Amino acid sequence: MAKCSICGRDAVAYIRYQRRYLCREHYIEFVENKVRRSIKRYKLLSKGSKVLVSVSGGKDSAALLMALSRLSKEYQLKLYALHINLGIGEYSEKSLRASTEAAKMLRIPLIILNVKDLIGYTIPELARRLRRPVCSVCGLVKRYLINAVAVELGADAVALGHNADDLAVYSMKSFITQDLEYLDKLGPKTENIQGIAVGRIRPLYEVYEKESFLYAFLLGVPFIHDECPHVNHESLEQILKVKLNEVEEKKPGMKIMMLRNMAKRIRDLPRREYRVQSCRYCGLLSSTEVCSFCRMTARIHGEPLGPIVRSRVRELVKESESRQLSSAAG
Ligand SMILES: [Zn+2]
Ligand SMILES: [Zn+2]
């Protein structure tokens, strides 16, 4: 059996782009050092930050929740987790269970939103009614709800579990489709906009998919192995994923190099004058007079649901905070 290049104990992994073997302890340290380095390099968090961690139930959000929880003392973080139940049959049920168990294990307060309760339809039902692809409806609803919760909480940042492989694919896609505006949003962080949008951070920016899997596995955080049944294996993303893996195989470390250079490029871009405004109905970030969530729900219900959803979210956040207070007191 191969031995750890640092301490000589039995190795659990070989890091190709560093040509070294690592044991369990050194592997965990290796991943956490990557997260720490990204926090520093990209100025993701400052001491005492209140962070909302978006948790899907998969390996990446499990790794993210674990890593931030283990770093929370060092950075004095105040962590909250958010799980959104999308109503995608058994997949969503399992995801909810895994997220609940992970948050419980790490003693992080979990806020749960249920799309069907909030909007009246599950994500697949919404997509059918709107005649739009499931993934695009899902993305829109999740982005809106995550931001709504973060604003209510007064969070300093929303932490997302995107890993280096995901981000390499998204950025290649935006290059191929020349949707370069989108590239801006794929960096390690996006900015806060007072009162209407909480900035997003990606602490796993330089962590590979395989690494986040092994990290979560070694530390025993519960997560599900299933992938969403709506993933389309013929999509451009999936094709790029396979191709980029071939490149990485021949050029180990290529994806990290690409992402680091991209982060620099984004940072050095002249700040474009964004047309930032708040939605006429719900008051949250929008690029037009009415935000896409209010427009979408108005098409289905005849009236925009943003304001109702926001007040429901406010109640749920309050409940979670008072539960926190009573458990801290007890
Ligand atoms: Zn070792
Ligand atoms: Zn709105």
74-79 mean pLDDT: 96
The model's pTM: 0.95
Residue 13, φ and ψ in degrees, nearest 5: -155, 155
**Predicted pLDDT at 326:** 80
Kindly give the distance from the C-alpha atom of residue 2 to the centroid of ligand 1, in angstroms, as a whole number: 11
Q: Hey, what's the torsion of the CAs at 64, 67, 73, 74, to 10 degrees?
A: -110
Range in 28-42, 208-222, 239-253, 260-274 the model is least confident about: 260-274
- Amino acid in the structure at residue 41: R
DSSP 11: P
Distance CA 326, CA 324 (A): 6
Return the CATH superfamily for domain 28-272: HUPs (3.40.50.620)
Structure confidence by residue, pLDDT tens digits, 62-71: 999 999 999 9
CA of 14 to the centre of ligand 1 (A): 12
What is the whole-number distance in angstroms between the Cα of residue 26 and the centre of ligand 1?
Answer: 5
Q: Tell me the C-alpha to C-alpha distance, in Å, between residue 285 and each of 144, 264, 281.
A: 9, 26, 11
Q: Are strands 157-159 and 285-286 parallel, antiparallel or unpaired?
A: unpaired
Question: What confidence score (pLDDT) does residue 43 get?
Answer: 96
- Residue 200's H or E segment, with its range, is strand 200-201
Measured in degrees and rounded to the nearest 5, phi and psi for residue 220 equal 70, 30
- Ligand 2 centroid to residue 186 C-alpha, Å: 23
Q: Report which bound ligand comes closest to the CA of 20.
A: 1
CA 265–ligand 2 middle distance (angstroms)? 32
pLDDT digits (tens, 9 = 90+) for 289-306: 999 999 999 999 999 999
| Residue 97 or residue 234, greater confidence | 97
Residues 322, 325: Cα–Cα separation, whole Å: 5
Q: Say which ligand is closest to the CA of 293.
A: 2
Model confidence pLDDT, tens digit, residues 167-218: 999 999 999 998 887 888 899 999 899 889 999 999 999 999 999 999 999 9
Report pLDDT for 162. 97
Range of lowest pLDDT (31-35, 65-69, 282-286, 323-327): 323-327
**How far, in Å, from the CA of 104 to the mean position of ligand 1?**
29
Ligand at minimal distance from the CA of 26 is 1
Q: What is the DSSP letter of 3?
A: B
pLDDT of residue 266: 85
pLDDT at 5: 97
Cα 251–chain centre separation? 27
Distance from the CA of 75 to the center of ligand 2, in angstroms?
34
Q: What percent of the chain has pLDDT over 90?
A: 85
Kindly give the distance from the C-alpha atom of residue 301 to the centroid of ligand 2, in angstroms, as a whole number.
14
Residue type, 168: A
The whole-number pLDDT of residue 317 equals 94
Q: Is residue 275 over pLDDT 80? A: no
Q: Which one, of 27, 72, 87, 69, lies nearest residue 211 by Cα?
A: 27
Spatial distance between the Cα atoms of 41 and 33, rounded to a whole number of angstroms: 12
| Residue 150 scores a pLDDT above 70 | yes
Q: What is the CA radius of gyration of the chain?
A: 20
Residue 50 is classified by DSSP as E
Ligand with smallest separation from the Cα of 308: 2
Q: For 223-240, what is each residue's pLDDT tens digit?
A: 999 888 998 888 999 999
**pLDDT on residue 227:** 87
Are 284 and 278 a contacting pair, CB within 8 Å? yes
Sorted by where each begins, the domain ranges of the chain are: 28-272
The pLDDT value recorded for residue 325 is 77
Alpha carbon distance 72, 159 (integer Å): 13
264 CB contacts (<8 Å, ≥6 apart)? none
At residue 271, the pLDDT reads 67
Q: Summarize pLDDT for 176-188 with one digit per residue, the tens.
A: 998 887 888 899 9
Separation of CA 294 and ligand 2 centre (Å): 4
